[in-house]
Copies of this chain bind each other. A is one copy, B any other.
Amino acid sequence: MLAETLAEIRPADPRALADARAHQDRLTKPRGSLGALEDVAVRLAGAAGACPPPMPVPAALAIFAADHGVHAQGVSPWPQEVTVQMVANFLAGGAVANAFAAQSGASVTVVDVGVAADLPDAPSLLKHKIAYGTADLSTGPAMSVDQAVQALEAGISVARGLVEGGARCLITGDMGIANTTASAALVAAFTGHDPAEVTGHGTGIDEETHARKVAVVRRAIEVNDVATVGSQPSDALRVLAAVGGFEHAAIAGLILGGAACRVPVILDGVIAGAAALVAAALDPAAVDHCVAGHRSAEPGHAVALAALGLRPLVDLELRLGEGTGGLLAHPLVCAAVRVMHDVATFDSAGVSEKEN
């Protein structure tokens, strides 16, 4: 399924990009006056291969949940069982992601790709559990390459299912106590940055814990020999397996699946940024189908976005995950695309153009 999906992905369509830029300049507004939103609309036109691009509605949020063996290293102040407790909170509609999804009219699907507990059935829970959490990435590979591919394919399958169900925009979400540690390791491995530059304070840790977290990420890079990543997709899979999490793999799969279906994917924070680096290593054209929802407070996120060449839409010091930053960006993306559909041109509205 992975190979077929990669074969389906196309880069941005140059003609749709050019048409969209030209259309922007005919609309009744000063040229360039919508700033970064003009770029978003043009980007979605290129991704869809159509100008104007379709409205990215309805949106579907997929929250991939998993646990992490590295939690044992004391990198998070939160007990591991918070992962399963928060899954229950999502399913009951009580989390911030639910509130934001309600605000933007997005559906919420929770996907168990590796929670360290058995979960009861629930209508919006999909079960793709690969294992009861990853192994400790600071002592060896977090998962096997086979498991990484399984998790990637779970993400692809979720993307295809959501698109078949009518979704026209996918939003990445995650839940997994300690997953900013794996994110930092992925960002360090894929960008060559030092672990100290890309390891942050997660959802809130003290300086002692932060120092330990940096050391753990450094050890993970060394133990797994992923300090420099080659240019082959097989290298990407090896890095993902070595220092990633099941949710990172599945989000990379969601991105590839969305790109293959030509449905845009709004990325949330650092977990999605790290996953997008995996997707980009597997096929750089996948990034053409992504929009960076926001920039989180995690330093590794800015590094990942720079490496991906993406500009975040929302920058409000969020550090929650769950898809919250992606959900906040969704109405902005809709507004950008709606301009392409609704706004009059200088000719049609009889508005005079600038004199110069």
Contact = CB atoms under 8 A, between A and B. Distances in A.
A332 B328 contact: yes
Interface string A332-355: 101100110111100011111011
A100 B328 contact: no
A315 B81 CA distance: 37
Contacts of A297: 35
Contacts of A351: 82, 85-86, 89
- Chain A interface residue bracket vs B: 35 or more
A102 B78 CA distance: 42
Interface in A59-93: 77-79, 81-82, 85-86, 88-89, 92-93
A96 B343 CA distance: 6
Contacts of A96: 27-29, 34, 339, 343
A147 interface: no
Contacts of A33: 203-204, 318-320
Contacts of A93: 342
A69 B102 CA distance: 47
User: Number of copies of this chain in the oligomer?
Assistant: 2
B314 A332 contact: yes
Given A95-B28, A343-B99, A316 B37 contact: yes
A233 interface: no
A313 interface: yes
B34 A342 contact: no
Given A99-B338, A335-B100, A204 B316 contact: no
A356 interface: yes
A30 B85 CA distance: 14
8 contacts: A30-B203, A33-B320, A37-B328, A88-B350, A89-B344, A98-B342, A100-B339, A328-B332
Interface of A: 27-37, 77-79, 81-82, 85-86, 88-89, 92-96, 98-100, 102-104, 203-204, 206, 297, 313-320, 324, 327-328, 331-332, 334-335, 338-339, 341-344, 348-352, 354-356
